[in-house]
Structure formats: structure tokens, C-alpha cells
Amino acid sequence: MRVLTLPVGNLGTNCYIVVHNNDAAVVDPGADVNSIVAALAGEQVTPSSILLTHGHADHVAAAAALRRLTGCSIIAHPADGYLLRATDNEIARLLGLTEAVVPDMELADAATVNLAGIEFTVLATPGHTPGSCCFYSATEQVLFAGDTLFRGSIGRSDLPGGNHKTLLRSLGRLKQLPAEVEVYPGHGPITTIGRERMSNRYW
Ligand SMILES: [Zn+2]
Ligand SMILES: [Zn+2]
């Protein structure tokens, strides 16, 4: 498995392209659909799925266009549906969400999702938003963390729908993962569970 990182949009959101055996999946296509398509073409792969860690516009605004261009399916947690439909919200519109994102499949806690042929377990980690999820592969020792956990920081819980106590409970769950697990956050550089357990003062 290889992971390409594409910072997209005004907030430098990390869009990840997972490539494995001529298959691909895209995590959080937040903007810049053309550069995502170009990166996929560079790898000579067509994605089979788009996974959304949560419904904020900077993570999802290019999802509908990418689905149209590639025919892949969009998978998201239903609790963030109100954000995926928030095209009348001014900030969401500024971030490019001009068209509601209608998922093809719903994420649920502890379910298994397939990213480019690799099994990931869905960890529902509400707090940043009600429908925030992380995707964990025990075989690859990889976690896509969305805006729940960052290198040296944790997600905001002061936006509408956020809840600090809930976020801390979700982070407590991530703490149980092995130290060597690589964490791919929604913004900023990658890290590991072990590094954050040692040095993240918010965790
Ligand atoms: Zn967010
Ligand atoms: Zn974000």
C-alpha cells in the first residue's frame, strides 16, 4: 500500500490517495478536483471509493465532482449528513461546497471498509463533528484520523456540532492503538500514535 498526500484548498486539507495493486481510494477530496484527478492519472489508477472522515466542506467539497468523473462511490457517516447538505452555509460555500454530497453508503462504528483492497476498521470518533470517523488498518498499521488527532494537537470542538467531552472520549479510544501506528491527519504532517502519546499535551 502506498499513500499519496495532496494538500488541497484554502485550508491545506490533506487529501489522501491510497494506492494498492492497481486499485485506489481517496480519503477527503476537499477541493482541487483537477489535481486529484491528475494525481490518480499519474498513478494510472481509477478510485473505487471516496471515504469522508467527516462532513466539513474543506474535506468533502470535491467529492461529488470526483464521483462524476470516476464513477466511484462515496462513503460517509450519516451523523454528518447535515454538513454534506450545507450548501446554504456561507463558510461552506466559500470552501467550495456548492453542491450537496449524497453518500452511496453509510459508515458505522466497527464496520469494515475497503480502501483499494485493504480492510480498514471504522472507528466512530465524534467530537469534532457528530459523524467524525477514523479509519484503521491493523495489517498496515495506519490510521486516517481526519480532524480528530493532529501532530501535536487535537481537533477543534468549538464549531457547531462539536463537543469537547465527546472528543476526549474518542481520543481515549485512539490511545489504545499500538504505538507504531502511523497517523495521517486531516491537516499538517503525519505522526505516530506513540509520538503523540509522548508529546501531545492536549491528549
Ligand atoms: Zn473539520
Ligand atoms: Zn479540516
∠ CA 110-182-12, nearest 5°, is: 95
Residue among 195, 202, 185, 192 at smallest CA distance from 14 = 185
Which ligand number lies closest to the CA of residue 150? 2
Separation of CA 95 and ligand 2 centre (Å): 11
Which ligand number lies closest to the CA of residue 54? 1
Separation of CA 54 and ligand 2 centre (Å): 9
Number of domains in the chain: 1
The per-residue pLDDT for range 177-198, each reduced to its tens digit, is 999 999 999 999 999 999 999 9
Which ligand number lies closest to the CA of residue 10? 2
Residue among 120, 150, 125 at smallest CA distance from 25 = 120
CATH code of the domain covering residue 108: 3.60.15.10
Which ligand number lies closest to the CA of residue 127? 1
**Pairing between strand 23-27 and 47-51?**
parallel
The per-residue pLDDT for range 62-114, each reduced to its tens digit, is 999 999 999 999 999 999 999 999 999 999 999 999 999 999 999 999 999 99
Range of the domain at 29: 2-199
The pTM of the full predicted model, rounded to 2 decimals, is 0.97
